[in-house]
Amino acid sequence: MTFSRRTFLKAATALGLGAVTGPFVPRIARAASPFKAKRVIVVGVAGGLRLSESLGMAHGATMPNLFGDIPLIPGFGDTPAGAPQIAPEYPLPPLVTPEPLVKPLHTEGALITNLRYAEGAPGHLQGSACLVSGAYNNIDNRPDAHAPSPTLFELHRRATGAPSTDAWCLSVLSGFFRALQSSDDPEYGPKYGGTWLSPGSIMSPLLPLALSGDRSLKLDGKTPIPTIVDPKEEIAAVRKLTAVLDGNTPAYQDGAFRPSPEEAAAVEEHLAAIFGDPTYGSFFPKSFGVGIQSGADLGGTGDTVTTYHAERILQRFLPHVMMISLFDVDACHTDFNAYLQGQILVDACVRHLWETIQSTEGLKDETALFVLPEHGRQLFFNGKNPDSLGRSGLDHGIGDDGDRDVWALALGPDFKPGVYSPTGIQQPGRVSGRYETIDVLMTAAAMLGVNDAMTEALKGRDKRPGLVMEGILQ
């Protein structure tokens, strides 16, 4: 008898329901996965990206590596959209991007063109929190905020006992985006949280310069450039002695995320390799090839720097879960042309990320990549910073169709290539009749073997769980 993925999911769901209604089950057992993908990466094109500018290509083909140059949704024509329409008066920062792929990535994967971000505030933290938890939400933008329901990091770590270095959350935004690290669910929470970083605020030569003790540097090719020396052997020695001291001090009881000493040391070694590089190329190397031309160098943006460091982490730790929250396109509040340029960079970043995954042993052919806007943007211009092409800023947040109609691209060995816009998807409480943002997360959870746990956790919080997107799976 063949045990298909579909029958597996049905059986697993039945088992999951049994777990809910049965006696106390201390840990969630994981069955052998029917999926080829063992690792899941979710990229949130955060800041808000409308369907009309991305798949509709209403202002040119801004995302050619993902979508090509022919509009993929009705109402925008069926001929090549041409180059991105940047206003002639716009002071154009010269972008560095590779030649677009001849065959766009969507042809390799499943593209859902009518995804619906159906509920919850179309806000940055709320949208990104949905992308880590599968829960629509209206959490507050506060330093003490938590994800609204157990995150993929918590679900995965609790189910497998994996270390925190097996689950990462990288975010362009710092501050209260730390909320994405974990929920405050007493069964899960920070002890199962992911390792959260905002690389743009950390990865900079300013740190070694500030710590060098010097106030000047002669650029004569002979004077050593300041680095931070933190050898692996010393890290191990320090950890051993710190453990002696910590053994005499009670543990913190503030409930915050804290990795084990071993996990912290692994992260420190990763950082030490970057800050110990005397070329400073490890902060953001020219070889990344996506960014802004800055003289002879390559300048980074929030999205490009974050993507580069996501790749470094993927290659070093081969984590099973990663969520990347980008942000460049949010310049659109006051700058429509920067919004278009942000799309060009996101497109090149996602391509670079996918090519890195597919060229890294341990990730290749066993990683699922989901890319989707955290939400869209409103249907009307806000009048700020108008350009000569009659465009101005676009906000998000009121929840119109511009805010809520988005897309999702799924790449990986389990997806059935195609362009999908299904209707008639049924579930109690689902009025869209379409695949929704929460379905992407439930599908990701299924690949990690934690969809039942996610469903259980969401129901426990009166949240509507997403559905596994059977229609796009092999």
Per CB under 8 A, residues contacting other proteins are 169, 174-175, 178, 181, 193-202, 204, 206-221, 228-231, 233-238, 240-242, 244-246, 248-254, 256-259, 264-265, 267-268, 271-272, 275
For 408, which DSSP code?
Answer: E
In the complex, minimum distance from the CB of residue 207 to other proteins, in angstroms, rounded to a whole number: 6
Nearer to other proteins, 25 or 206 (CB): 206
Query: Which H/E stretch holds residue 130?
Result: helix 124-133
Q: How large is the angle between the packed helices 261-275 and 302-317, nearest 10 degrees?
A: 120
CB of 280 to other proteins, least distance (A): 13
275 vs 370, beta carbon nearer other proteins: 275
Beta carbon of residue 326, minimum distance to other proteins (angstroms, whole number):
16
Of 70 and 228, CB closest to other proteins: 228
CB of 178 to other proteins, least distance (A): 6
Pair 415, 472: CB distance under 8 Å:
yes
Select 141 or 204, whichever has its Cβ closest to other proteins: 204
Say if strands 291-294 and 95-96 run parallel, antiparallel, or are unpaired: antiparallel
Query: Where do we find the tokens 């450039």?
Result: 225
The minimum distance between CB 271 and other proteins, in angstroms, equals 5
CB-nearer residue toward other proteins: 141 or 212: 212
Report residue 226 as tokens: 């300041």
Do 121 and 397 meet the contact criterion of CB atoms below 8 Å apart? yes
Query: Which residues sit opposite 368 in a β-bridge?
Result: 40
C-beta of 419: minimal distance to other proteins in Å?
Answer: 37
Residues 6 or more apart in contact with residue 226 via CB below 8 angstroms: 208, 209, 211, 212, 214, 217
Residue count (the chain): 474
Two tokens, residue 314: 């993927």
Q: Where are the beta strands (DSSP E) in 326-400?
A: 367-373
**Angle of helix 451-460 relative to helix 437-448, nearest 10 degrees?**
130
Q: How far is the CB of 36 from other proteins (least distance, A)?
A: 30
Burial of 299 (0-12, 13-18, 19+ CB in 10 A): middle
Residue 59 or 178 having the CB closest to other proteins? 178
Q: Which is nearer to other proteins, 205 or 397 (CB)?
A: 205
